[in-house]
Structure 1
Amino acid sequence: MKRILQCFRHPATNRSRTPKQEDDDEEEEHGQRPYILQLSDHIILEIFCKIPTKTLIQCKRVCKSWRCCLSDPEFTRELFSRTPACLLVTGFRWQWGHFLVNLDGTWNPNVVALKLSSEISPRPTMVGSCNGFLCHYSRHHLHIFNPVTGELLPLPTPSELGTLGDCYGFGFGPVSRVYKVVRILPKRVMVLTVGSGIWRNIGHPAYSFSSITPCHGIYHNGFLHWIGRACGDSSRHLVCAFHVETEQFQELPLPPPSYDLDKTYFKLGVLNGWLSVILNLNGDISVWVMKDYKMKESWTKEHEFKDPVGSFGTSILKFTKEGQVLGLNYDDHSMQAYTLARTGLVRVEVDGLPLMISEAWDLVLSFVSLKDRSP
């Protein structure tokens, strides 16, 4: 970390000068530096690790020293490991673009959204997110995008055109330290190791993924997850977990089956760092989290409430400390809040945020460059 914080220091002094001259210059310059740059190295690091992501993006434009620090691979990896999640919102149709907003609690008129770099055209479809990177699919082309740095990494085009039945996933192998894109077709599973340029056929899928939500895999704990059905028993729903490192599928149980599988709407996700399943049966919504990964007994019902409007419960983004549910209403593409203790919806209006929203995620963004893809 010492090498990182050298970014905050002055350029190297002229070695032809005497040590006393250099000490005098350094003492004089130290008094002219901003107070934050006069702090000790570990305090500067702690300050930057506690600043919200939106503010850090703006800090990168303040001076060369801060830009240097927020571009250093070691510092950005340390920063990512200690950064809380924030809300990344994608506009709808003509308002397309990525927007960052901090909605940690009760929102107020002072909250302002920050539009991030969106040099992607035409409007892509989300394939997955992992370690602050987004994977997009647009007109048969795949690419990885970092919305913080604005970097774009094109990926090899699949040999076969996509269909509505295809599922994708984007994840990271923590041992090999490589990113992989998974494409599940009806008769085979294709895997691309980012940087290899080759799509590999790893065999026939043992599960059916038709009519699932979302169609892209949810990355968590080194696995990509989908809700699917066993090919030999279409009535049996389960969580299909693809181990990114070994490229093998495993089965994880769903929450206790106290519901009608054919009439229940499922949504898989990650809430508060746990794998989660949101169930909606005729407007009765229950939110389950797996507190001990892979352990069936650890499924815990965190929330249970009535769906205030159609489809609201299947688009839940997060739960706030104030007892509110933040989600998307697909009918009018708006972000809305629902207080569990009361009835009624409140439309969330944030300055700079599009009125119509297509997607939103509660995730950790990263300053790590795509040129240095090890988190």
Structure 2
Amino acid sequence: MSTRINYINLVPQELLTEIFTRLPAKSLGRCKCVLKSWASLISDPDFIQAHLTKTKHSTNLALISTETNPGIIYSVHFFNDSKNVNCDGIASKLNLNCCNKWCKIWGSYDGLMLVQDIRTKKFLINPTTLESKKLPPVPCGYRLISFLDLFGFGYDSSCDDYVVVAICYESGSFCAYVYMLKTNQWNKVGFSPYVHLCPYDHVNVPLVTYGAAGIFVEGCLHWLAKKYNDNNSCLIASFNLAKKEFSEVPPPKGVFDYMRRRPRLGVLKGCLCLITGVYNRNELWVMKEYGVVESWVKMSVFLTEDSSIVSLDLQEDSLVMLEGGQFILLVSDAKEVILQDMKVIGLPHDFRVGMTYIDTLFSPNKIDYKKNT
């Protein structure tokens, strides 16, 4: 009697690794159910890191619905050659001990996303694998104005750990707390030297903005802020995740002198960006060399008053803008930007923009990342 040969087991692991690192993360989740050896390979930290390297440019945009099915997180996947894209509800599938109604996305890195529900509970989730981890509450004291709190999420390469930074308003000052995923603990860093309320003057009346997520670039989280005892100043505050200290990043020379509407920070091709409002139009600035004021470049794109940059660094050379509720893909080339209309199928009528994220296998419940080996 002839024996049946299991050809799957004959495939060398090196070849399987080359194949699997090119598959989408969701497909790999199905592959883990085929063989135990496959599941072991796909769950290995070295493989997960190799897969991340191969899939860096596969980017999604996360949005939160505000009217129809309020609080659901939707994912929009963008393709280089497509003008029509689909959206899909993702976080409603998460099995979490919470109300499952989301109000804020504070940041994302390596496929992990920091989200907040309507009860202000914070979670780290992987919207691709649907794994999640609830964060302990920030150990700050009693506060009357908690809605002024700011958060950011990034990665500290010096200790190979994911980091959440909270800037909490306490007794007239802003205090910084740092959460490390490996220890699952918050630590108080100290008071910030800045007022984390950025004024923008329309009719000589200082206004404030709040709720802006920290922008992660070059190992630092960035927020717009101002100096104490100077209600009209505006600056870019930087918090270094490795050094656990604040500093300033120089803005374009004179850009805040004629600003008339709320500025915003973002990322384009790994560079820090600044979007400023000037009368009836917006300007997009890109810092080509981090920390060098002379490296700021103004992109030649006209952003109207009702337009809004919703996501930057979607792919290697593009960003997404909202104009009158319609998505527009802006593909940048040197100093010029080409506009291309995009239709998002299945998107709710009213939504709040979140963050971009990539499909990865990283788990918020595992601490052996092996990124520095």
SS in 2 for 1:293: coil
Report SS of the residue matched to 1:104: coil
Aligned to 1:60: 29
Q: Deviations over 1:211-266 (max 9, x none)?
A: 34761211222111111112244433222111112210111101232463541431
- Is the CA contact (8 Å cut-off) linking 1:223 and 1:242 kept in structure 2? yes
Residue 299 of structure 1 is aligned with which of 290, 296, 309?
296
- Contact kept in structure 1, 2:301 and 2:337, CA below 8 Å: no
- In structure 2, the partner of 1:313 is 308
Residues 342 and 252 from structure 1, CA distance in 2 versus in 1: closer, same or farther, beyond 3 angstroms? closer
Give the RMSD, CA atoms, in angstroms: 3.4
Within the candidate set 155, 168, 183, 1:185 is matched to: 168
CA contact (8 A) 1:88 1:101 kept: yes
* Secondary structure of 2:138 counterpart: coil
Give the residue type in structure 2 aligned to 1:64. V
1:231 to 1:365, Cα distance in 2 relative to 1, 3 A: farther
Q: Secondary structure at the match of 2:213?
A: coil
CA contact (8 A) 2:151 2:166 kept: yes
* Deviation, structure 1 residue 366: 2.1
TM-score by length of 1: 0.76
State the partner residue of 2:47.
Answer: 75
1:332-351 map, 5 Å = 332=325, 335-337=327-329, 346=341, 348-350=343-345
Q: CA deviation at 1:342?
A: 11
Does the 8 A contact of 2:156 with 2:242 survive in 1? yes
Structure 2 unmatched runs, 5+: 198-207
State the secondary structure of the residue aligned to 1:78.
helix
How do residues 1-375 of structure 1 correspond to structure 2 at under 5 angstroms? 28-30=5-7, 33=8, 41-51=13-23, 55-62=24-31, 63-65=33-35, 67-85=39-57, 86-93=59-66, 94=69, 96-108=71-83, 111-118=85-92, 119=94, 121-138=100-117, 139-159=119-139, 160=142, 163-186=146-169, 187=173, 188-196=175-183, 198-210=185-197, 211-212=208-209, 215-258=212-255, 260-301=257-298, 303-308=299-304, 310-317=305-312, 326-329=320-323, 332=325, 335-337=327-329, 346=341, 348-350=343-345, 352-373=346-367, 374=369
Give per-residue Cα distances to partners, 1:306-334, cap 9 Å, x unaligned: 334x331343546889x9863235x65x5
Quick one: distance in 2 between partners of 1:347 and 1:104?
A: 11
Q: Which has the larger radius of gyration?
A: 1
The alignment's TM-score, normalised by the length of structure 2, stands at: 0.76
Q: How many residues align?
A: 336
Closer, same or farther: CA 50–234 of 1 in aligned 2, 3 Å: farther
Residue equivalent to 1:19: none
The 1:222–1:337 alpha-carbon spacing in structure 2 relative to 1, beyond 3 Å, is: closer
* 2:307–2:321 Cα contact (<8 Å) kept: yes
Q: How far is 1:103 from its partner?
A: 1.7
Q: Distance in 2 between matches of 1:56 and 1:91?
A: 22
Separation in 2, partners of 1:173, 1:166:
22
> Does the C-alpha gap of structure 1 residues 156 and 243 become closer, same or farther in structure 2, counting only changes over 3 Å?
same
Q: Is the 8 A contact 1:266 1:314 kept in 2?
A: no
Aligned AA for 1:146? N
In 2, are the aligned partners of 1:230 and 1:236 still within 8 Å (CA)?
A: yes
Sequence identity (%): 22
Summarize deviations over 1:339-368 as a string: whole Å, max 9, x none. 999999846233x54444322433333211
Letter in 1 for 2:125: F
Q: Give, in whole Å, the separation in 2 of the partners of 1:101 and 1:262.
A: 32
Q: Report the AA paired with residue 105 of structure 2.
A: M
Specify which structure has the bigger relative contact order, considering alpha-carbon pairs within 8 angstroms and separated by 6 or more residues: 2
Residue 179 of structure 1: CA displacement?
Answer: 2.7
Aligned to 2:201: none
TM-superposed CA distance for 1:96, in Å, is 4.2
